[in-house]
């Protein structure tokens, strides 16, 4: 699909980050956008940015839905048909996701399943809900956001990362298998798997809000305790001696650095994703770090989970280690 003008795009997780930037760039190209998110307030900001910059006559609509909830996603689909006044869509961006659920052995099961059900279940529910509307278009494209953690199940040797990696591998495997299924059964629909490296977004604070159900910018007592336990995994007993204020400051600084010191912005990432759709690439690596990691894991798969592999890769691409 080379031209987005006059098309209909659905974006999950349009409230911030890459979802917001996809919405802005699509609207700037004359594409109608329907987004969902758990945050109505963040979607309102995205909508006003789109409307300030977008072409005349383009519709931008919002709907509060949790992508892990099948009934909510079906309600979102019905709202898209009603609010956009269409029986078909051309583009589906299953973008919503959170980080979390790191530990399987000793971590909290609820957080594990919440992370998995959003990162994998959101893609599955999005495809199930919107496939009929894609089938009804003359051309369609499904864009599923995985991660470098869809081919490399780690964020470093000192931090368990099981739920997110399992979900992102599932997104990648499902999307790759869809290539053949679509070619056989719906050849007018293409699909792509997106694998970003480190992109500067607010995913750290957004994930905490989704996992705790607490929308405030201040960490709850439970979140401080969880952060202290995670830090103990990284820095040992020294974490026990930190005050709550020090934990707050450490977490805020880690989130700030993740957002502001990233090698690529969310806007630049959205451009790479949309270029990948236009050139019909099924695998869209986003960022130099993602390309390098892809090459390294292929070159030395047995070494991929050793501390030396991570240290050398992180130093080469400039990843921030340990917050
Ligand atoms: N930022 C990175 O470095 C990075 C790297 C690789 C992959 N990704 C993936 O990219 C995607 C976008 O992330 P981002 O970095 O832009 O983060 P972000 O937090 O800025 O955006 C994600 C959006 O999804 C929404 N969301 C979260 N849970 C939801 C749910 N259950 N239902 C509906 N909406 C929900 C959030 O409110 C937020 O608006 C995610 O799938 C993420 O896993 C991000």
Residue 321 — pLDDT band, cuts 50, 70, 90?
Answer: low
Per residue in 201-230, pLDDT (tens digit) is 999 999 999 998 888 888 888 778 877 877
CATH fold of the domain at 8-201+264-317 = Rossmann fold (3.40.50)
Quick check: is 305 catalytic? Answer: no
Q: Which residue intervals of the chain bear CATH 3.40.50.720?
A: 8-201+264-317
Per residue in 9-19, pLDDT (tens digit) is 999 999 999 99
Evaluate if residue 234 carries a pLDDT over 70.
Answer: no
Residues, the chain: 323
SS3 string, the chain, reads: CCCCCCCEEEEECCCCHHHHHHHHHHHHCCCEEEEEECCHHHHHHHHHHHHHHCCCCCCEEEEECCCCCHHHHHHHHHHHHHHCCCCCCCEEEECCCCCCCCCCCCCCHHHHHHHHHHHCHHHHHHHHHHHHHHHCCCCEEEEEECCHHHCCCCCCCCCCCHHHHHHHHHHHHHHHHHHHHHHHHCCCEEEEEEEECCEECCHHHHHHHHHHCCCCCCCCHHHHHHHHHHHHHHHHHHHHHCCHHHHHHHHHHHHHHHHHCCCEEHHHHHHHHHHHHHCCCCEEEECHHHHHHHHHHHHCHHHCCCHHHHHHHHHHHCCCCCC
198 in ligand 1 pocket by Cβ < 6 Å? yes
Provide the pLDDT for residue 323: 41
Residue 322 — pLDDT band, cuts 50, 70, 90?
Answer: low
Q: What is the mean pLDDT of residues 155-183?
A: 97
The mean pLDDT value of the chain amounts to 94
Q: CB of 31 within 8 A of CB of 5?
A: yes
Provide the pLDDT for residue 161: 95
Q: What is the mean pLDDT of residues 236-246?
A: 82
Catalytic residue among 112, 151, 164, 310: 164
Distance 40 CA to ligand 1 centre (A): 15
Whole-prediction pTM: 0.96
Distance 66 CA to ligand 1 centre (A): 12
The residue whose CA has the least distance to atom 23 of ligand 1 is: 13
18 in ligand 1 pocket by Cβ < 6 Å? yes
Residue 165 — pLDDT band, cuts 50, 70, 90?
Answer: very high
Nearest to 209 by CA among 119, 111, 72: 111
Residue 320 — pLDDT band, cuts 50, 70, 90?
Answer: confident
Provide the pLDDT for residue 233: 67
16 in ligand 1 pocket by Cβ < 6 Å? yes
Per residue in 76-118, pLDDT (tens digit) is 999 999 999 999 999 999 999 999 989 999 989 999 999 999 9
Atom of ligand 1 nearest to the CA of 99: 43
């Amino acid at each position: 699909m080379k031209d987005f003008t006059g098309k209909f795009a659905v974006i999950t997780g349009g409230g911030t980050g890459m979802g917001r930037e996809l919405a802005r760039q699509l609207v700037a190209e004359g594409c109608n956008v329907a987004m969902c998110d758990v945050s109505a307030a963040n979607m309102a900001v995205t909508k006003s940015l789109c409307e300030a910059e977008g072409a005349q006559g383009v519709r931008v609509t919002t709907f509060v839905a949790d992508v892990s909830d099948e009934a909510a996603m079906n309600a979102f689909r019905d709202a898209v048909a009603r609010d956009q006044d269409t029986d078909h869509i051309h583009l589906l961006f299953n973008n919503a996701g959170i980080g979390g659920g790191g530990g399987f052995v000793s971590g909290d099961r609820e957080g594990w399943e919440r992370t998995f059900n959003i990162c994998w279940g959101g893609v599955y529910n999005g495809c199930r809900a919107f496939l009929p509307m894609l089938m009804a278009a003359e051309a369609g494209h499904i864009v599923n956001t995985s991660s470098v953690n869809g081919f490399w199940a780690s964020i470093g040797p000192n931090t368990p990362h099981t739920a997110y990696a399992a979900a992102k591998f599932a997104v990648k495997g499902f999307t790759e298998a869809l290539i053949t299924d679509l070619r056989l059964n719906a050849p007018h629909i293409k699909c792509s798997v997106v694998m970003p490296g480190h992109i500067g977004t607010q995913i750290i604070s957004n994930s905490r809000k989704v996992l705790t159900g607490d929308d405030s910018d201040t960490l709850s007592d439970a979140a401080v305790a969880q952060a202290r336990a995670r830090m103990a995994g990284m820095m040992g007993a020294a974490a026990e001696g930190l005050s709550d204020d020090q934990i707050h400051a450490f977490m805020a600084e880690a989130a700030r650095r993740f957002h502001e010191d990233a090698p690529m912005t969310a806007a630049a990432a959205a451009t790479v994703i949309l270029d990948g759709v236009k050139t019909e690439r099924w695998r869209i690596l986003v960022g130099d770090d993602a390309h390098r990691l892809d090459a390294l894991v292929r070159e030395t798969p047995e070494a991929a989970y050793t501390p030396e592999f991570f240290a050398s890769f992180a130093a080469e691409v400039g990843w921030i280690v340990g917050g």
